[in-house]
Structure 1
Amino acid sequence: MKFDFESALDKVLDKLDSWLETLLTMLPNMAVSVLLFVVFMILAKLAQKVLVRIFERASDNKLLENLFSTLIYYCVLGIGMFIILGILKLDKAVTSLLAGVGVVGLALGFAFQDIAANFVSGIILAFRRPSKIGDVISVKDFMGTVIQTNLRVTVIKTFQGQEVYIPNKDVLQSPIVNYTASGQRRIDLGVGVSYGDDLNKVQDLVLKVIKGLDGLIRPDDIIFDYYEFGSSSINFYIRFWIEYPDQPGFLAMRNSAVKAIKEAFDENDITIPFPIRTLDFGIKGGEKLSEMPIQMAANEKK
């Protein structure tokens, strides 16, 4: 079979002429499409900025602000792309493309379900808002100040200076302790006194000391309770409230309370005892060391 080179060349040239003719016909539409794309890019940026300004006046929730500003940006761009594809007469291609995107999106959803879970959790946290930037929180054994939140992670800075990135899925599923939400925090301070001290005197003295501390709030809510007969002391808790703007303030207040109680005990001859151990010798106990057979044999040798 002989190959007809001229016939094949004519077919190729006809096809190229057809494409060129289509290109020339579509040039005005392509120019309009490029112009519309630039216009919709500008409109998307403007819509994003307008929404951010409106949201800043209505709320200080940065996570929701980022979420809605991103959504409005891509919504405007999406509308623009559908209009542009319609001008280019690619409606059928758009339908096929959307179907393909749906299948690919389903496959990626299974492959990256953790990322999707963090994203959805970020949206839920944006609406529930258990914490905000600057709050002191505790999540999954990490305690620190919230310095950043987005749709994937919550970032806290620990009091040791490390930044911890906690996935939003873990934040949503774990207990969150927000120490800043109420603006107050209770200090529970454990102390022990000697069995020989007057317990009523100790209680009156400690209450007086705590009420005299600078920074104390809710003085009527101070709680003093003896709770244990310890091995060498009678132990009690003194519980009192302070304002809680930050963790250093909490530590400073607890430090002041410890020093004030110690000084008051020293001035009033109240003892904070050391641990005491009583050694009993012999099977039944109660025998003096000097009366033990071993010690007596040693004394006889001398």
Structure 2
Amino acid sequence: MDNFNLNESYHLIVDKLVSWYKVLITMLPNMLLSIILLIIFYFISKLVRSLVKKGVQSFIHNLALVKLIGTLSFFIIFSIGIFISLSVLKLDKAVTSLLAGAGVVGLALSFAFQDSATNFISGVFMAVRKPFKIDDVIETADEMGIVKHINLRNVIMYSFNGQEVIIPNKDVYQNKVRNYSALAHRRIELNCGVTYDADLEKVIKVGEEAIKSLDFVSKSKETNIFFNEYGGSSINFTLYFWIETNDQPGFLKARNDALIALKKAFDKNDIGIPFPIRTLEFKPNQFNKALKSISIENSSTKENNNNDTK
């Protein structure tokens, strides 16, 4: 009985190996064809990657993005070659399973790395649009500074307080960006006020001439003073002028010098910049009542003090 089982097992194994051998011989041409297809698609993928990188470099100057696009093109073409090779081997079910598995894995990764994916996609869009470049002075996401590094995940800039600020790309892409370096000039606005008895036409003439005389003020653009309101103690105006620089230190220095020049010019021409003043107006009856109440309070206070002394 044992010999019979042993012989039967032996024949089953032999038959299985023979059947596999026959299948191998039958599939051998397809296997060779699939290997050849993989080799061909590998070289095609490399060629496509180099062509894509050369084409993309003409309008995208971000090296990391160029490499990424080239790598993606390589894997897309080579993946197509893998699926075709599996189809040649009549492994269509395996292809379907791979696609389904890739979809499930992609969905899981999209939830797990949602923020990273958002930063990455924002970085791609920013690399294409190029809203700013290295060494530009920008203001975004409540931060202002000089851009030092731009990658596919974040923007690194140095603030004017001497700090390194790292901002995720999604925060930059989803918020407004002020690029102070985009243009070669910048406008400065100064708010000030003069006394009510001042000659307003003289204020305009003196103020504009004082600012125009400064070396850093643009001569190609207008310098203007516009009055805008009657304030509590002054007639307020805004002074507008342009400077031929776009860096922050130059802006601060220009604003400082303009304030000094405007004050000197007003002092020289007897134009006053008033302190805040409040005028209290009482009607006669109300004023008399207020005095009586104050005198009554004083007298009662004195009586209390005398009683305490006794």
TM-score, with length taken from structure 1:
0.70
Aligned to 2:181: 180
Show the counterpart of 2:69: 71
Whether the aligned pair in 2 keeps the contact of 1:219 and 1:240 (CA below 8 Å) is no
Query: Which has the higher mean CA deviation after the structures are superposed, 180-189 or 89-98?
Result: 89-98
Within 5 Å, give how 1:164-175 maps onto structure 2.
164-168=166-170, 170-175=171-176
CA distance in 2, matches of 1:155, 1:261: 38
1:209 deviates by: 1.1
Shift of 1:248: 1.3
Query: How far is the alpha carbon of 1:283 from its aligned partner?
Result: 6.7
Out of 155, 163, 166, the residue aligned to residue 165 of structure 2 is: 163
Alignment of 1:196-215 (within 5 A): 196-215=197-216
Q: How does 1:86-235 map to 2 (within 5 A)?
A: 86=85, 93-160=94-161, 161-168=163-170, 170-217=171-218, 219-235=220-236
Tell me how far apart the structure 2 counterparts of residues 211 and 222 of structure 1 sit (CA, whole Å): 7
Amino acid at match of 1:214: D
Distance in 2 between residues matched to 1:2 and 1:159, nearest whole Å: 90
Q: 1:10, CA displacement in angstroms?
A: 9.1
Structure 2 runs not aligned, ≥5 long: 302-310
* % identical equivalent positions: 40
Amino acid paired to 2:205 = D
What is the alpha-carbon distance in structure 2 between the residues aligned to residue 216 and residue 6 of structure 1? 106
Kept in 2, the 8 Å contact 1:147–1:157? The answer is: yes
Give the root-mean-square deviation of aligned CA atoms: 4.6
Residue by residue over 1:206-226, the C-alpha shift from the partner in whole angstroms, topping out at 9 and shown as x without a partner, is: 100111122222554222111
| Change over 3 Å in CA distance of 1:220–1:167 after alignment to 2 | closer
The Cα of 1:204 is off from its aligned counterpart by 0.7
State how far apart, in whole Å, the 2-side matches of 1:174 and 1:262 are.
Answer: 38
Which amino acid is the alignment partner of residue 75 of structure 1? S
Displacement of 1:264 in angstroms is 1.6
Assess, with a 3 A threshold, how the Cα gap between structure 1 residues 204 and 12 changes in structure 2: closer, same or farther: farther
Q: Using a 3 Å threshold, how does the CA distance of structure 1 residues 150 and 6 change in structure 2: closer, same or farther? A: farther
Q: Say whether the 8 Å CA contact 1:280–1:286 is kept in structure 2.
A: no
Aligned-residue offset at 1:246: 1.4
In structure 2, what is the equivalent of residue 276 of structure 1? 277
What residue is the counterpart of 2:308 in the other structure? none
For the residue of structure 2 that corresponds to 1:216, the secondary structure is: coil
Q: Which runs of 5+ in 1 are unaligned?
A: none
Note closer, same or farther for the CA distance 1:283–1:247 as it changes in structure 2 (3 Å cut). Answer: farther
Quick check: 131-140 or 279-288, which moved more?
279-288
Corresponding pairs, count: 288
Q: Name the structure 1 match of 2:307.
A: none
Change (3 A) 1:9 1:288: same
Higher-Rg member (1/2): 2
Shift of 1:255: 1.0
Which shows bigger deviation, 273-282 or 172-181?
Answer: 273-282
**Bigger mean CA offset, 80-89 vs 220-229:** 80-89
Q: Please give the alpha-carbon distance, in whole angstroms, between the structure 1 residues aligned to 2:54 and 2:116.
A: 29
Q: Residues 236 and 98 of structure 1: is their aligned pair in 2 closer, same or farther, counting only changes over 3 Å?
A: same
Q: 1:51 to 1:246 in 2, by over 3 A?
A: farther
Distance in 2 between residues matched to 1:296 and 1:212, nearest whole Å: 61
Match of 1:249 in 2: 250
* Residues in 2 aligned to 1:286 and 1:268: alpha-carbon distance in whole angstroms: 43
Mapped partners of 2:67, 2:114: distance in 1 = 24
- Tell me the SS of whatever aligns to 1:217: coil
CA shift, 1:286, in A, is 9.6
**Cα offsets for 1:59-93 (capped at 9, x unmatched):** 4642xx43232121243255456657849969654
Aligned partners of 1:110 and 1:118: how far apart in 2?
Answer: 14
Q: Which amino acid aligns with 2:73?
A: C
